Chains A and B, each alone.
Chain A
């Protein structure tokens, strides 16, 4: 996502912008709306997280996050997000590579981008249905594998409603997102760089290891962080796939909204704030990486 600038020369000849407090009125509706519907709810949860049931200040809610069941919810959510971010990232990268530099016909690039646009937006309830019809106990792939190869996935310990089943399902919207994000970065690799490296006697492998990958790495890692966040906040897919029988933070928060299953509203708020902290950390790293990657991809 490069930063666009409009031409400057004409501007500099102009008088300075009229500066007046009235200018700020123009952005007031936007600031009010976001204050009301983003900042206020977040602050409400944050304040509530520091309160006990009687309304007094406490840090106990955050300490209570470190109980085994809540820790395990965070751990499973983080693990599933990491696994699908890395696997989806690698797979998406390979696909994007294949259609940009890999020497495939040109039309495949736009076809892949179209498919990716659709698949990355095809998430939630219908995605869960699709995977139940595919890899559920009577799903097509499950049945076909049993018929053709005599391989019974469910005897082998696979279960669609468990960690790996959920991961396979998440990957359906994760790798297309990677394709959409990383394709522009791959297209930003200049042919001259490769030619220069080869002229200097580098092999193709050396070119990738010492030129292309170091340039691409911030973009790849940055994209993987977006994928991480994408999976970390997912709720509908997990809920409709497992019926709520998987211990994810989003699922626990969902039950807490419906009816205080933690028997402590403050703990629920702390749980939600924990998600915000993880996401804020991830986005912080993302912006650092994006600044690095833009240095090379600026045109």
Chain B
């Protein structure tokens, strides 16, 4: 029996070692490559170039801004809706869940195709102005992250007794605005924060939608452009973007205290 337990452990270790190798080799290779901008020595030159590039900061700032707008629109859209459905329209829950899963069925490239065709022409003409284009991008991002945002908020609401809290607040004289701002939002802090950082992690380097709607203004298309022209700088960008993803995920874990939920997002 002991030999068998040992064998089982070896089996587990085998897969873990394979996993560690597969996970770290590309990172190591990329990091190594990013240090070789000058022949024969290891330097952080490629990083210096990136950090001195005005376009890096400009595009990164732009995408960060789009990320913030996406988070705000998502919260304003999803939290009151999910709350209201739990409180007053429980029969609507399956429909809302279904709608929030639709972005899984419509891949980003198809969605952006439709968005451009619908909103660039009459009667919307959204792509004629900068504000309009940015708004279209934010709307696309809200849709893209909807499955995760909705599920995070809905799970958060399940953990509190929405009806009792509402009735208690009402009996103390609170209106709907007060209930949302001072009861619902604080109770959903964890769900909202982890949803927000997941949104940021998804949006910052997003390429598919950004490249078609706003083009080179966004960080994803910028990275792609660097990749076409500069070899070492592209590796340093990959490392920077990896560290960013790590930071966002670390923050989510901090809020969730190690639970696995909240980290699931789709590919781009």
Contact = CB atoms under 8 A, between A and B. Distances in A.
A binds B: yes
A62 B142 CA distance: 31
Contacts of B80: 26, 29
Interface of B is mostly: helix
Contacts of A253: 109-110, 113
Interface residues of A, number: 100
B111 A41 contact: yes
A38 interface: yes
Nearest to A30: B81
Residue of B16, B109, B208 contacting most chain A CB atoms (<10 Å): B109
Interface of A is mostly: helix
A261 B111 CA distance: 19
Given A26-B89, A97-B12, A173 B267 contact: yes
A38 B115 CA distance: 8
B260 A183 contact: yes
Interface in B32-50: 32-34
Contacts of B201: 121
A207 to B, nearest CB: 13
A162 interface: no
Contact of A125 (B18, B28, B202, B224): B224
A279 B107 contact: yes
Interface residues of B, number: 99
Given A34-B146, A125-B207, A130-B238, 5 more contacts: A27-B89, A112-B19, A236-B208, A257-B116, A279-B105
Interface of B: 4-5, 8-9, 11-13, 15-16, 18-19, 22-23, 25-30, 32-34, 77-78, 80-81, 84-85, 88-90, 92, 96, 99, 101-118, 139-140, 142-143, 146, 151, 155, 158-159, 161-164, 198, 201-202, 205-208, 211-212, 220, 223-224, 227, 234-235, 237-238, 241-242, 245-246, 248-250, 252-253, 258, 260, 263-268
Top 6 nearest A-B pairs (CB, nearest first) are A41-B114, A233-B107, A102-B12, A117-B263, A4-B158, A140-B29
15 contacts: A17-B88, A30-B77, A38-B99, A41-B106, A42-B110, A45-B114, A97-B12, A121-B202, A129-B223, A133-B30, A175-B22, A184-B260, A235-B107, A235-B268, A276-B110
Interface of A: 1, 4-7, 10-11, 14, 17-18, 23-24, 26-27, 29-31, 33-34, 36-38, 40-42, 44-45, 48, 91, 94-95, 97-99, 102-104, 108, 110, 112-134, 139-141, 170-173, 175, 177, 180-181, 183-184, 204, 229-237, 239-240, 250, 253-254, 256-258, 268, 272, 275-276, 279-280, 283
